[in-house]
Structure 1
Amino acid sequence: MADFLDAPGVGAAFVEIIKSAEEQISIITPYISLTPHNLKYLQSIDSKKVPIDIVYRSDTTPNPEDLAFLKQLQSARIYKCDDLHAKCYMNEQFGVITSMNLYKHSQSNNWEMGVRFSRETDPDLYAQTSEEVDRILQASSPENSGRTATTATANQRTYEPRKPTRTISPKLKVPPKKGLLEKALDSVRGEVAYCIRCGETIDYNPEKPYCPKCFASWARFNNPDYKEKVCHKCGNKHTTTKTRPVCNDCYKTYYR
């Protein structure tokens, strides 16, 4: 369930987003002026090579020292977006939609509020926010391009989601070891399987082990090694991934 945050709560949630990230961080804020703590946490997560997408408003000028700091982060990509007013901070686990800019004065002096939501307990809100963050990124241009978003066209997309480097295990492309009767029944009625995130019943396909809703959420960060909760084959609770969507028992039974 989403939680209400006051100004200190928003600041604490931002730090938690940075510290707990393992796959991706998105920072959407019209104005940027970093506190010493912001600098330290961003630098620490950069050492772990966690990708960071940062978008600020194109007609603003971040503190030059802060901008120079962000540019030297090896895993950061910085963008400008026309007419940006939204403030949103998120990683692969949870996010915050808030009134507060990532700005020293805002964090120390302003009355601010926000809402914290989780991918696990608020999947629809998380997925919709992720999609909107993607739209903002697609409407943005690289900070050093000298070109604002209004001049970008559909054929000149400057933002591309980060691509995973691993693919599904070749062994899982082989049909399960079943008898002729089982195969005949499956060919007629389709083989029942389970979404590895929510457990919903879906067609068996180890290359596409998500229901449509969970796939939209997974595709936001596109990490084939992110840990899920359900075996695609048996539907029981097990740690699985898109790369390995079946539990060890099912793997041994059907693929070895």
Structure 2
Amino acid sequence: MATFLHDDNLNAEIGRVFREANQQLVIISPFIKLHSRLKDELKSKEHPHKIAITVVFGKNEKRLEKSLGPEEFNFLKELPNITIKYNERLHAKYYANEKTAILSSMNLYDFSQNNNIEFGILTESSLLGDISNNLTGLTLDRDAQEYFQKVTGNSRTVFSNKPVYQDGGMLSKVFKKYVAFETEVDELSEQILNTEKKKVKPRSKGVQAEVNGVTGYCIRTGVEIPFNPKKPLSDKAFRQWNRYKDKDYSEKFCHFSGESSNGNTSVSKPILKENWNEAKKYISS
């Protein structure tokens, strides 16, 4: 059975995929920034080590932190049974657990969930569904599953955690006691967590921002704009922000330096704390 999803229904069903995952969870999206609700679903799992999570992301081959930021990676790397893969050609989006799958236009990115026009196709499998599909030839869910298994298989593993179980002798396969997890592969920490911050460009002292054209950066897109903490968005980004006018909505960049803010800037606080003392020198009195 296939169901067309959009708007709140799409977000709700993706949440259900996370919530009802008891054996496996597949997340395939070029860009990943989990909504807090989805993180809460994963945090609330009673036995997270029993859920094999596979994440495939893509794009930005030389700047992986633009597709999977430090905050997201720090969260994911604490999950005990997870494999993270990278595919530079990835553009598809697919979210699935052992019973339900969603083919979608939407990146698993909180901004996309809150702002963009997106759609999805939901498929659900059951014993009855499998029998009817075999009889009628309707195999959308199986075709999608097989395709994305190939995508996953052709993607490079860049991080993995595996659960460790206590040795219980002959009965260990039946009565396994989870004790910890160990990291088997880690190519991401160096690339994502140890990325050098973008250097602050030299600024001429004693100038007024708007009058002398000191460079600033849009806190949503990172493009260069005049430095003015009261107007830290480009015209296009402002039109997007103005739909909801949430001054505390987390943005991506520091208005003063242009470096990634990892969600620690907003219209109300457009400059990272560590840059504030320097930035005050260029704010018009």
Q: Normalised by the size of structure 2, how large is the TM-score?
A: 0.48
CA-to-partner distance for each residue in 1:143-182, whole Å, 9 max, x for gaps? 249xxxxxxxxxxxxxxxxxxx68xxxxxxxxxxxxxxxx
- Please report how far the alpha carbon of residue 46 of structure 1 lies from its aligned counterpart in structure 2 after TM superposition: 7.2
CA-to-partner distance for each residue in 1:61-85, whole Å, 9 max, x for gaps? 2121111110111111111112101
Matched residue type, 1:135: K
Instruction: Select 1:74's aligned residue among 80, 99, 102.
Output: 80
- The aligned counterpart of 2:11 is 11
CA distance in 1, matches of 2:106, 2:38: 14
CA distance in 1, matches of 2:78, 2:46: 10
Question: 2:3·2:123 contact (CA, 8 Å) conserved in 1?
Answer: yes
Matched, 1:53 2:54: yes
Instruction: Select 2:96's aligned residue among 90, 108, 121.
Output: 90
Q: 1:27 to 1:51 in 2, by over 3 A?
A: same
**Runs ≥4 in structure 1, deviation > 4 angstroms?**
none
CA-to-partner distance for each residue in 1:18-68, whole Å, 9 max, x for gaps? 111222111101101111111111222374321110110052421211111
Q: Normalised by the size of structure 1, how large is the TM-score?
A: 0.54
Gaps of 5+ in 2: 134-138, 161-172, 175-285
- The aligned counterpart of 2:215 is none
Matched, 1:116 2:118: no
Q: Give the number of aligned pairs.
A: 147
Q: Report percent identity of matched pairs.
A: 31
Q: 1:65 to 1:51 in 2, by over 3 A?
A: same
Matched residue type, 2:11: G
Matched, 1:132 2:138: no
CA distance in 2, matches of 1:7, 1:97: 14
CA distance in 2, matches of 1:46, 1:65: 23
Q: Secondary structure at the match of 1:73?
A: coil
CA distance in 2, matches of 1:45, 1:142: 24
- The aligned counterpart of 1:33 is 33
Greater relative contact order, per chain length (Cα 8 Å cut-off, separation 6+):
1
Structure with the higher strand share, 1 or 2: 2
Question: 2:33·2:72 contact (CA, 8 Å) conserved in 1?
Answer: yes
Question: 1:46·1:73 contact (CA, 8 Å) conserved in 2?
Answer: no
Q: Secondary structure at the match of 1:52?
A: strand
Gaps of 5+ in 1: 146-164, 167-256
- Please report how far the alpha carbon of residue 128 of structure 1 lies from its aligned counterpart in structure 2 after TM superposition: 0.9
- Please report how far the alpha carbon of residue 142 of structure 1 lies from its aligned counterpart in structure 2 after TM superposition: 1.6
